[in-house]
């Protein structure tokens, strides 16, 4: 198990004041910035790209930027995010024709690589590539929108993937994304997650520090 990471999803931030929002959430105790990239093709929504990632770096953000690519195809956008200052880059296997090649491309750029499993994606997609990954990201909602409810079956899937990671023996993070809140994060951590994405639960409250502290306390309990 890796040290706990709370990664607020800026999908739920106020985009008109994005730099200030990111500064505020990091000052409130966030560890990473989760950066959702949607292309209106792989998922039915359109968000932000490498220019915004680069703008956050120019603004002075030094925390890890956890880029979650919900785009198809994946490979041609990876070098742009490497240049823009991403530190973690995750992608969906359904959106890559050659999953192993995409992992190598991310790592060749000096970033950490993650594979994202949708709620209905079987865990055997991890066979043969798990040891090449730095993290596995389990979607606990269908990708495309913030503010959805956590799908309970994710807890069983987390336990299965935690077992796979333990058997593999490498320091691979297990990240969960979608519907994570102070009142369910304890159960999610107990099922094996160590890295927690939360959008609406954090940015939907006025006191970011209080929510992040409540989440960290529930994970540690």
Catalytic residues: 36, 177
* 106 φ/ψ sector (left φ>0, alpha ψ -120 to 50, else beta): alpha
Asked whether residue 147 is marked as a ligand-binding residue, the answer is yes
- Supply angle C-alpha 149, 138, 168, rounded to 5: 155
> Is 199 annotated as ligand-binding?
yes
User: 12: annotated binding-site residue?
Assistant: no
**Does 163 carry a binding-site annotation?**
no
66 is a site residue for Zn ion (CB under 5 A): no
Contacting residues for 113 by C-beta, under 8 A, at least 6 apart: 88, 89, 90, 102, 103, 106, 107, 132, 133, 134, 135
The residues pairing with 7 across neighbouring beta strands, listed in sequence order, are 197
Quick one: what does residue 4 bind among Zn ion, ligand DX5, none, with the CB cut-off 5 to 8 Å set by partner type? none
Footprint of Zn ion on 164-193 (CB under 5 A):
177
Select 69 or 161, whichever has its Cβ closest to ligand DX5. Answer: 69
Residue with Cβ nearer Zn ion (36 or 134): 36
Closest CB 203 distance from ligand DX5, rounded Å: 8
109 annotated as a binding-site residue? no
Alpha helices in 94-136 (DSSP H): 99-108
Q: How far apart are the first and last CA of the chain?
A: 15
Nearer Cβ to Zn ion (66/219): 66
| Distance of alpha carbon 41 from alpha carbon 143, whole angstroms | 12
102/195 with CB nearer Zn ion: 195
**CB of 36: closest distance to ligand DX5 in angstroms?**
5
CB of residue 146 vs Zn ion: minimum separation in angstroms?
9
Partner from ligand DX5, Zn ion, none binding residue 146, C-beta < 5-8 Å depending on class: ligand DX5
- Shortest reach from residue 203's CB to Zn ion, in Å: 13
> 68, 112, 157, 181: which one contacts Zn ion (CB under 5 A)?
68
Task: Output the six-digit token pair for 64.
Answer: 């890890």
**How many angstroms separate the CA atoms of 197 and 177, rounded?**
5
> How many CB atoms sit inside 10 A of residue 221's CB?
9
Annotated binding site: 9, 34, 36, 68, 144-147, 177-179, 199-200
């Amino acid at each position: 198990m890796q040290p706990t990471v709370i990664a607020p999803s800026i999908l739920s931030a106020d985009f008109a004041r994005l730099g200030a929002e990111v500064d505020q959430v990091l000052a409130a105790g966030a560890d990473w910035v989760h950066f959702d990239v949607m292309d209106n093709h792989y998922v039915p929504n359109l968000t932000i790209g490498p220019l915004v990632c680069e703008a956050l770096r120019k603004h002075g953000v030094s925390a890890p930027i956890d880029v979650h690519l919900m785009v198809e195809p994946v490979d041609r956008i990876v070098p742009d995010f490497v240049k823009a200052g991403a530190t973690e880059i995750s992608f969906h296997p359904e959106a890559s024709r050659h999953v192993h090649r995409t992992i190598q491309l991310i790592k060749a750029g000096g970033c950490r690589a993650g594979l994202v499993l949708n709620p209905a994606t079987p865990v055997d997609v991890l066979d043969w590539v798990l040891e090449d990954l730095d993290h596995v990201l389990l979607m606990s909602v269908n990708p495309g929108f913030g503010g959805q409810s956590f799908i309970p079956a994710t807890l069983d899937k987390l336990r299965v993937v935690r077992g796979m990671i333990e058997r593999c023996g490498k320091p691979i993070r297990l990240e969960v994304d979608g519907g994570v809140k102070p009142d369910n994060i304890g159960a999610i951590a107990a099922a094996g997650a160590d890295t927690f994405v939360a959008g609406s639960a954090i940015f939907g409250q006025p006191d970011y520090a209080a929510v992040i502290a409540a989440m960290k306390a529930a994970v540690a309990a």
